[in-house]
Amino acid sequence: MANFAIDAKKENTYDAIVIGSGISGGWAAKELTGKGLRTLVLERGRDVRHVTDYPTTMLNPWEFEHRGQLRKEVRDANPIISKCYAFYEGSEHFFVKDAEHPYVQEKPFDWIRGYQVGGKSLMWARQTQRWSDFDFDGPARDGFAVDWPIRYKDIAPWYSYVEKFAGISGNKDGLPQLPDGEFLPPHEWNCVEKHFQQQMATKYKDRPVIMGRAAHITKPQPIHLEQGRAQCQHRTICERGCPYGGYFSSNASTIPWAARTGKMTLRPDSVVHSIIYDEKLGRATGVRVVDANTKQMQEFYARIIFVNAAALNTNLILLNSTSSRFPNGLGNDNGLLGKYVAFHNYRAGISAQYDGYLDSTTEGKRPNSPYIPRFRNLHKQETDFLRGYAAGFSAGRISRTNNEGLGASLKENLVNPTLGGWYVGSHMMGETIPKETNYVALDSSLKDPFGIPQLKISVGYDDNDEKMVKDYIEQMTEMFTAAGFTNIRTRDDKRNPGLDIHEMGGVRMGKDPKTSLLNKWNQIHNVKNVFVTDGACMTSTSTQNPSLTYMALSARAVDYAVKQMNAKAL
Extended beta strands in 23-147, E state: 39-42, 104-105
Q: Specify the pLDDT at position 2.
A: 52
3-class SS at 370? Answer: strand
Question: In whole angstroms, what is the distance from residue 56 CA to residue 69 CA?
Answer: 13
Q: Specify the pLDDT at position 3.
A: 62
Among candidates 524, 552, 560, which has minimal Cα distance to 544?
552
331: left (phi over 0), alpha (psi -120 to 50) or beta: left
541: left (phi over 0), alpha (psi -120 to 50) or beta: alpha
Q: Specify the pLDDT at position 419.
A: 86
Question: In whole angstroms, what is the distance from residue 100 CA to residue 105 CA?
Answer: 15
Q: Do the Cβ atoms of 509 and 533 come closer than 8 Å? A: no
Total Cβ atoms within 10 A of residue 93: 17
Looking at domain 175-212+344-431+461-496, its CATH architecture is 2-Layer Sandwich (3.30)
For residue 201, what is the enclosing H or E element? helix 191-203
Q: Do the Cβ atoms of 256 and 50 come closer than 8 Å? A: yes
Q: What is the DSSP string of 170-195?
A: -----BTTB---SEEPPPPPPHHHHH
Q: Specify the pLDDT at position 143.
A: 87
Q: At what angle do helices 152-166 and 547-566 cross, to 10 degrees?
A: 100
The CA-based angle 306-311-313, given to 5 degrees, is 80
Q: Specify the pLDDT at position 402.
A: 74
Question: In whole angstroms, what is the distance from residue 192 CA to residue 486 CA?
Answer: 13
Among candidates 177, 494, 129, which has minimal Cα distance to 346?
494
Total Cβ atoms within 10 A of residue 61: 9
The dihedral through the CA atoms of 379, 380, 386, 388 has a sign that is: negative
3-class SS at 154? Answer: helix
Q: Specify the pLDDT at position 409.
A: 79
Q: Specify the pLDDT at position 185.
A: 98
Q: Specify the pTM.
A: 0.96
Q: Which residues of the chain have pLDDT under 50?
A: 1
pLDDT in tens, 335-380: 999 999 999 999 999 999 999 999 999 989 999 999 999 999 999 9
C-alpha 102: how far from chain center: 21
Q: Do the Cβ atoms of 321 and 274 come closer than 8 Å? A: yes
